[in-house]
């Protein structure tokens, strides 16, 4: 049986502003007409749900960049799980997973609850404020800092630094974007150096203390300690805050859904699942073949890159009927969204992310009657990620 010759083209136009603003028409066309194709840089692009689920977690696919891939700004985290395959990945991840058990997570998210209550105490009904920063970034960063046992202050420059680092993951990141990402990593690295110095002077029993002890006892290197803390501290508020802000914007535009969320607690898990499906903060993931295999009739050779489009899969109408709608009545046995990735490299922070979202929304249902958009949200999007810069909102408070 002869192999299929893959189409070559840029059916997902990474740098087109119209695509970045609304990629869904392009996704639909790719799923129907170009389910696998080779982009102009040689990367294979896969967009259908069933194909991503089938091939995206193959053990022979690696997350480690081959030698032909130029080193980018994210290489400063080369000694973290982001750049490791099993079994090393499993070993390193086990060291931090114990800090994100459901029991401990419930303890960390108390910081999110307190942060939201404090901000609502300061707000007046009808007052315009940035819901992304005050109800998304701040409380999720506070929860991660609670796990790390470090002060939560100064989170605003952290999230904007993360925006710059995420931009460097775009398919065609420019030299300027890479330069700004390197500067952002340098800023976060300097902050983490201060955190380590603070914890050595003020020891406790948090995650940072445990990692410092592991380094002192020779279990991990100084680089592994440092890079792990940059990863967790820097990214702790990035992805979950996007889900929170997406939910608040959706509730403002669809007050009937917020009323359902408030008045029908049994629907809350389903609504949150739909928010995760509709608004993944990271839109794709890349893997590299380590051995030859066939995908949809196309021969994939060792060293070749495949990019799996999560954002497209989550709105595949063959799997999720009426995919643009937030539908809490989707049956439990329906296919799951893949916003947290899959296989060995599923998001390490998904337990705390979900708990943060649930906790923040629970506080809001107790204290906020309704949300109102007070302007157009400002976004920092690329073909690879999405983030809010500003979400102007007012609330009508219950208390």
- DSSP conformation class of 390: E
User: Residue 384's closest CA among 315, 288, 282, 279?
Assistant: 282
User: What's the whole-number mean pLDDT along residues 323-348?
Assistant: 82
Confidence of residue 350 (pLDDT cuts 50, 70, 90): confident
Span 304-334, pLDDT tens digits: 999 999 999 999 999 999 999 999 998 876 7
The CA-based angle 165-171-175, given to 5 degrees, is: 60
The CA-based angle 170-278-271, given to 5 degrees, is: 145
Confidence of residue 127 (pLDDT cuts 50, 70, 90): very high
pLDDT of residue 331: 82
- Mean pLDDT (the chain) is 93
pLDDT of residue 333: 65
Percentage of the chain surpassing pLDDT 70? 98
List of E strands, the chain: 7-8, 36-38, 44-46, 61-62, 129-130, 284-289, 293-295, 298-300, 305-309, 368-373, 378-379, 388-390, 392-397
User: What's the whole-number mean pLDDT along residues 194-203?
Assistant: 96
Confidence of residue 37 (pLDDT cuts 50, 70, 90): very high
Confidence of residue 336 (pLDDT cuts 50, 70, 90): confident
CATH superfamily of 48-397: Cytochrome P450 (1.10.630.10)
Confidence of residue 348 (pLDDT cuts 50, 70, 90): low
Q: Is the pLDDT of residue 395 over 70?
A: yes
User: What's the whole-number mean pLDDT along residues 83-103?
Assistant: 86
Confidence of residue 1 (pLDDT cuts 50, 70, 90): very low
């Amino acid at each position: 049986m002869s192999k299929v010759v893959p189409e070559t083209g840029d059916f997902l136009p990474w740098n087109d502003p119209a695509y970045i603003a609304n990629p869904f028409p392009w996704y639909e066309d790719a799923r129907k007409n170009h389910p696998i194709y080779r982009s102009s840089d040689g990367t294979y692009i896969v967009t259908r749900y069933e194909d991503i689920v089938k091939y995206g977690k193959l053990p022979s696919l690696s997350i480690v960049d081959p030698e032909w891939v130029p080193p980018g700004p994210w290489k400063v985290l080369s000694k973290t799980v982001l750049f490791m395959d099993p079994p090393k990945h499993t070993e390193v991840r086990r060291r931090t997973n114990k800090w994100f058990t459901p029991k401990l997570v419930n303890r960390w998210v108390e910081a999110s609850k307190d942060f939201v209550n404090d901000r609502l105490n300061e707000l007046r009904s009808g007052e315009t404020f940035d819901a992304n920063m005050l109800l998304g970034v701040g409380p999720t960063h506070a929860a991660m800092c609670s796990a790390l046992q470090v002060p939560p202050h100064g989170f605003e420059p952290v999230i904007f630094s993360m925006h710059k680092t995420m931009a460097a993951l775009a398919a065609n990141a420019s030299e300027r974007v890479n330069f700004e990402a390197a500067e952002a990593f340098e800023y976060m690295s300097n902050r983490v150096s201060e955190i380590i110095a603070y914890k050595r002077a003020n020891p406790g029993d948090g995650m940072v203390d445990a990692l410092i002890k592991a380094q002192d006892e020779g279990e991990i290197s100084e680089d592994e300690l440092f890079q792990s803390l940059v990863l967790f501290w820097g990214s702790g508020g990035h992805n979950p805050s996007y889900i929170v802000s997406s939910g608040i914007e959706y509730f403002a535009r669809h007050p009937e859904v917020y009323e359902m969320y408030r008045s029908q607690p049994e629907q809350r898990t389903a609504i949150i699942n739909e928010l995760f499906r509709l608004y993944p903060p990271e839109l794709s993931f890349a893997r590299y073949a380590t051995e030859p295999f066939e995908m949809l009739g196309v021969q994939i050779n060792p060293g070749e890159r495949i990019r799996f489009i999560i954002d497209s899969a989550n709105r595949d109408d063959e799997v999720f009927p009426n995919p643009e709608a937030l539908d809490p009545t989707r049956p439990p046995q329906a296919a799951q969204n893949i916003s947290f990735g899959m296989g060995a490299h599923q998001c390490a922070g998904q337990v705390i992310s979900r708990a943060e979202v649930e906790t923040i929304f629970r506080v809001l249902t107790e204290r906020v009657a309704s949300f109102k958009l007070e302007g157009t949200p400002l976004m920092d999007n690329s073909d690879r990620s999405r983030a809010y810069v500003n979400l102007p909102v007012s609330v009508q408070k219950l208390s």
